[in-house]
Amino acid sequence: MIQRIQTVYLLIAEMLIGALFFVPFADIVGKDGNIYRFDIKGIALEGAQKPEIIYSSLPLIVLCAVSLLLIVVTIYQFKNRILQMKLSKLCIVVVFGLVGLIYYYLSSGAKVLSGTYSLNIYFVFPVIAAILIYMAIRAIHKDELLVRSIDRIR
């Protein structure tokens, strides 16, 4: 299982999506001059003693957890390559949904605060994860073609 390249791609994608729980996506400068941090929990005032969530993003947490769980399930379907490819395609859809949801919360949060936002590099982690999942799909497809060609020889 781990010696297959698609498993490595999926594990790296898993780590990138998992890192989203610990890093901020963007900083928002409000009209009052305060800096707000947007992470997986929502938008909170930067540097406060006890950060109070101003704009919560619970669906973002749920979608991120679903994508993590889906990637793990995909990794363990190594004996059923066709199902593994279908689950990988579903993973890509969920990850792009995650990107869209992050952007939605970021733009609506900036509108609520009447401010501007600047993205951090961590915003591209889901896009990189989707590319890695696509590369895993290609590797799974190559494995399936190899197995079918060996079955024809027998």
On whether residue 153 sits in a domain, the answer given is no
Burial 75-91 (b: 16+ CB within 10 A, else e): bebbeebeebbebbeeb
On whether residue 154 sits in a domain, the answer given is no
On whether residue 38 sits in a domain, the answer given is yes
In this structure, what CATH number is given to the domain that contains residue 17? 1.20.140.150
Q: pLDDT higher for 50 or 67?
A: 67
- Is pLDDT at 65 greater than 70 in this prediction? yes
Predicted pLDDT at 114: 87
Nearest CA to 41 among 61, 19, 26? Answer: 61
- Is pLDDT at 1 greater than 60 in this prediction? no
On whether residue 96 sits in a domain, the answer given is yes
Q: pLDDT higher for 131 or 143?
A: 131
Predicted pLDDT at 78: 84
Q: Domain limits at 101?
A: 5-148
Predicted pLDDT at 102: 92
Q: How far is CA 150 from CA 7, 28, 80, 83, in A?
A: 22, 56, 17, 20
Q: How far apart are CA 115 and CA 92, in angstroms?
A: 31
On whether residue 95 sits in a domain, the answer given is yes
Predicted pLDDT at 153: 65
- Is pLDDT at 146 greater than 90 in this prediction? no
